[in-house]
């Protein structure tokens, strides 16, 4: 019988607590016990994990989940143990986690849309692995996984369908970014929108996902790129990464100024913050025939409003983008090659390296907007 692993993990016990989280402590670092990997599963020693707004939306209660739950969906690590039935990985492989496993058998998977995998979505909502099982124990009791990953831990057990193998010469803190920020942001540009060379593009919300979308637009050959955010610091970063113009989102003259700069609006806008106000702005700045893509996730009770006649008469398009509409096995290696060539400088997203014990303070910084990507380092 395989030995169970004991390790430290960041566990969310209470959603929606008041800020500062450093004081209310919704997340506590505790010792957990991991059951051995089952069929088609692997044990991964986690090397790095990114703090993402998707994690924050669970902590602050915008995306309710079953608790207690080990957090973390963006990360990287090294395979330690293989369960039965794992054929495409070996011990010692460097891997990136993918927060939507692809079963390969449901209709969306067969249509080449693994981000919409139906069993993967069901497992994520239930707090289980793709198999429907849980492998995390706290004081002997099974607790919940976050979207089948739970990488805010020294070790984690995941489905092999939640992993993509990467080259060993890629630093694992950089590799972690490709599991969410990069595939969600750049993927929205390359896959969901499939922008044309010479297009005009605006990105609303300049966190990790938004800046990845901005870099993706530059790599895809956009002629004009506009960054929009509430914080001047984020606008400065956008300029450094290739934005031709930037606007503060609360500027009362933003529509007039943007339309003047673009001669009527943009071909593509990307809402990357999960705000109905940001989505309405992303729609309003479109020119006729333009496309607005949203990869942000707001509270289920929130709605946005558009003028129906403008949608029809302007032949405008609104698209949702989940996981950047990516095929992770195809796209993550491709985006890594763009990074290595200098066309997708994703290392610029890293703001800080923190310890697991600093996770609540990290969520405070993320909520303030004073950081892009904080990386929890385990090595």
Q: Do the domain assignments include residue 360?
A: yes
Q: Do 233 and 300 belong to one domain?
A: yes
Contact 315, 289 (CB under 8 A): yes
Number of residues that make up the chain: 379
The Cα 94–Cα 176 span in angstroms is 11
> What pTM does this model have?
0.95
Q: Do 42 and 124 belong to one domain?
A: yes
Q: Do the domain assignments include residue 340?
A: no
End-to-end C-alpha distance for the chain, whole angstroms: 28
Q: Do 196 and 292 belong to one domain?
A: yes
Q: Do 35 and 126 belong to one domain?
A: yes
Contact 36, 81 (CB under 8 A): yes
pLDDT tens for each residue of 78-136: 999 999 999 999 999 999 999 999 999 999 999 999 999 999 999 999 999 999 999 99
The Cα 223–Cα 59 span in angstroms is 38
List, as one string, the DSSP characters of 185-211: HHHIIIIII-PPTT-EEEEE--SHHHH
Q: Do 173 and 39 belong to one domain?
A: yes
Q: Do the domain assignments include residue 330?
A: no
Q: Do 92 and 201 belong to one domain?
A: no
Q: Do 149 and 228 belong to one domain?
A: no
- pLDDT beneath 50: ranges in the chain: 1
According to the model, what pLDDT value does residue 2 have?
67
Q: Do the domain assignments include residue 141?
A: yes
Q: Do 132 and 187 belong to one domain?
A: no
Q: Do 35 and 162 belong to one domain?
A: yes
Number of domains in the chain: 2
Q: What residues form DSSP beta bridges with 79?
A: 44
Contact 258, 227 (CB under 8 A): no
Structural domain including 79 reads 5-179+345-377
Residue 377 host element (H or E): strand 373-377
Q: Do 24 and 132 belong to one domain?
A: yes
Residue 115 host element (H or E): none
pLDDT tens for each residue of 210-246: 999 999 999 999 999 999 999 999 999 999 999 999 9
Which CATH number do you get for residue 89? Answer: 3.90.180.10
Q: Do the domain assignments include residue 334?
A: no
Q: Do 26 and 161 belong to one domain?
A: yes
Q: Do 191 and 164 belong to one domain?
A: no
The Cα 268–Cα 188 span in angstroms is 11
The Cα 365–Cα 325 span in angstroms is 29
At which residue do the structure tokens 């400065």 appear? 236
Q: Do the domain assignments include residue 33?
A: yes
Q: Do the domain assignments include residue 162?
A: yes
Which CATH number do you get for residue 190? Answer: 3.40.50.720
Q: Do the domain assignments include residue 75?
A: yes
């Amino acid at each position: 019988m395989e030995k169970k692993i004991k390790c430290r993990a960041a566990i969310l016990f209470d959603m929606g607590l008041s800020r500062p989280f450093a004081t209310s402590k919704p997340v506590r670092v505790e010792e957990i016990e991991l059951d051995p990997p089952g069929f088609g599963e692997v044990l991964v020693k986690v090397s790095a994990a990114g703090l993402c707004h998707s994690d924050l939306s669970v902590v602050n209660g915008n995306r309710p989940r079953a608790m207690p739950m080990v957090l973390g969906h963006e990360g990287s690590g090294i395979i330690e143990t293989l369960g039965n039935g794992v054929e495409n990985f070996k011990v010692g492989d460097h891997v990136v986690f993918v927060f939507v496993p692809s079963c390969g058998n449901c209709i969306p998977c067969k249509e080449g849309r693994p981000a919409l995998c139906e069993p993967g979505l069901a497992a994520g909502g239930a707090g289980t692995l793709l198999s429907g099982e849980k492998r995390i124990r706290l004081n002997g009791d099974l607790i919940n996984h976050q979207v089948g990953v739970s990488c805010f831990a020294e070790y984690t057990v995941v489905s092999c369908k939640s992993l993509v193998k990467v080259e060993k010469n890629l630093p694992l803190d950089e590799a972690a970014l490709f599991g969410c920020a990069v595939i969600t942001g750049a993927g929205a540009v390359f896959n969901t929108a499939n922008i044309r060379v010479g297009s005009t593009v605006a990105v609303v919300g300049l966190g990790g996902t938004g800046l990845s979308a901005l870099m993706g637009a530059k790599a895809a050959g956009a002629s004009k790129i506009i960054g929009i955010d509430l914080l001047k610091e984020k606008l400065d970063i956008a300029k450094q990464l290739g934005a031709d113009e930037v606007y503060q989102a609360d500027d009362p003259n933003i529509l007039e100024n943007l339309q003047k700069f673009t001669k009527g609006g943009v071909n593509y806008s990307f809402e990357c913050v999960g705000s109905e106000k940001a989505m309405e702005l992303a729609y309003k700045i479109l020119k006729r025939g333009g496309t607005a893509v949203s990869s942000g996730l707001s509270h289920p009770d929130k709605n946005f409003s558009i003028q129906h006649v403008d949608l029809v008469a302007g032949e405008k398009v609104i698209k949702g983008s989940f996981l950047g509409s990516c095929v992770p096995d195809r796209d993550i290696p491709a985006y890594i090659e763009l990074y290595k060539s200098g066309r997708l400088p994703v290392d610029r997203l890293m703001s800080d390296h923190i310890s697991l014990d600093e996770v609540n303070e990290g969520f405070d910084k993320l909520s303030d907007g004073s950081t892009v990507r904080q990386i929890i380092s385990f090595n």
